[in-house]
Amino acid sequence: VPERAFDDLVAAMDAALLVVTAAAGGERDGCLVGFHTQASIRPPRYAVWLSTANRTWRIAQRATHLGVHLLGRGQLDLARRFGGLTADEGVDKLAGTDWSSSPEGAPVLRAAVAGFVGRVVARIEPDGGDHVAVLLEPLDAWVSAGVAPLRLGAASHIEAGHPPS
């Protein structure tokens, strides 16, 4: 497939943007995620793809649960924070936000318009790819009324804190 045509196809899909958070061993972080999908109906499963370059992935390798948050259309500031900065440069991205720990230990961003805490069911490392799928069992999902998500097209100018490895 010509790369340009593939890029245009993905841009046309205009994915909603998530912030995925992880905590383990006293460390915590989160990153902006555009690669995600429901992955089973019964039982319900959701997959998020994390770049192996990201500190969030390194923590997610040890986490039992992840926080998955949908950003609203007006939340470009949070997209910039979680997508444009990396904790590898010493920034505590969660410290600047209103967050709390779920009973399972996943960081939950209160500003998110929808989200869930997911139990890690599997980590799927494809041969040769630069992202790893984390398959989640959703627990206690929430959604605000009238949600309009922030989409890729509105955030594609953000330069990722970590280019893919």
Ligand X SMILES: Cc1cc2nc3c(=O)[nH]c(=O)nc-3n(C[C@H](O)[C@H](O)[C@H](O)COP(=O)(O)O)c2cc1C
Q: Which residues bind ligand X (CB under 6 A)?
A: 29, 31-35, 49-51, 54-56, 82-83, 85-88, 131, 152, 155-156, 158, 160-162
Shortest CB 73 distance to ligand X, Å: 14
Q: Where are the alpha helices (DSSP H) in 14-128?
A: 55-60, 76-84
In the bound state with ligand X, the residue whose beta carbon lies nearer, of 130 and 145, is 130
Q: Nearest to residue 144, comparing CAs of 109, 101, 95, 106?
A: 109
Name the DSSP letter for residue 129.
-
Let me know the angle formed at the C-alpha of 65 by 59 and 69, rounded to the nearest 5 degrees. 90
**What is the smallest separation between the CB atom of 137 and ligand X, expressed in angstroms?**
20
Q: How far apart are CA 124 and CA 76, in angstroms?
A: 30
Nearer to ligand X, 88 or 140 (CB): 88
CB nearer ligand X, residue 43 or residue 163? 163
CB of 145 to ligand X, least distance (A): 26
Nearest approach in angstroms of CB 55 to ligand X is 4
Residue with smaller CB distance to ligand X, 101 or 156:
156
C-beta nearest to ligand X: residue: 161
* Closest CB 151 distance from ligand X, rounded Å: 10
Closest CB to ligand X among residues 33, 120: 33
Is the Cα dihedral 82, 55, 46, 63 positive or negative?
negative
Specify burial of residue 65 (Cβ count, 10 A radius: 0-12, 13-18, 19+). Answer: buried
